[in-house]
Amino acid sequence: MATEYAIAKNYQSIVFLGIDVKEPFEYSREAGYINTLQKHQKLPQIYRMGNHSHETEQFIRDHWRQFATNTAFIVASDRMALGVIRGLQAQNANIPTDFGIIGFDGVFLDQVTNPKLSTVRQPVQDMGQLAAEMLLRKIDQNGAPQGEKLIPPELMIRGTMRQ
């Protein structure tokens, strides 16, 4: 969703900043980015680092010159995206005109950044309620498998992406 939106808003370069962990959630976020770029015949640019805003801020500062204007950053967490915002602001970059940012999670940090962070929001309250219901059913059914439930995320476009 995030990568499709960045392409639709005509960002020419789309960079993925991932978390340096071997976890399914990270693989799926990166795979979505790669698959979408391949569908649009664009080459992926992937960088991985720790899930810390200071690491992504330093990354932007250290690699500033290699990112041309009209670049969107798809970032694996809102925490990391906060660092991208700070790094770009330190270079007096124009967000969202020249550089766009979309994070993932949407649980708090997206509300306190300036500009407000665009994010792929996961409905964590709905997920928690569903997990509790499934757990209670599992107990009632003597441990019977409960299957899987997919709760779609929501793309929240705010001040870090072109409207």
pLDDT tens track for 79-95: 999 999 999 999 999 99
What span, in angstroms and rounded, lies between the C-alpha atoms of 35 and 37?
Answer: 6
State how many domains the chain has: 1
Give the model confidence (pLDDT) of 113-125 as tens digits.
899 999 999 877 8
Nearest-angstrom CA–CA distance, 83 and 78: 9
Q: What is the pTM of this model?
A: 0.88
The pLDDT assigned to 20 comes to 94
At 71 the pLDDT is: 98
For tokens 């801020």, the residue is: 57
Residue span of the structural domain in which 85 resides? 2-123
Closest CA to 51 of 89, 25, 13: 25
CATH code at 52? Answer: 3.40.50.2300
Enumerate residue ranges in the chain where pLDDT < 50.
none
Residue 66 placed within a domain = yes
Residues 6+ apart with CB under 8 A from 132: none
Q: Is residue 150 part of a domain?
A: no
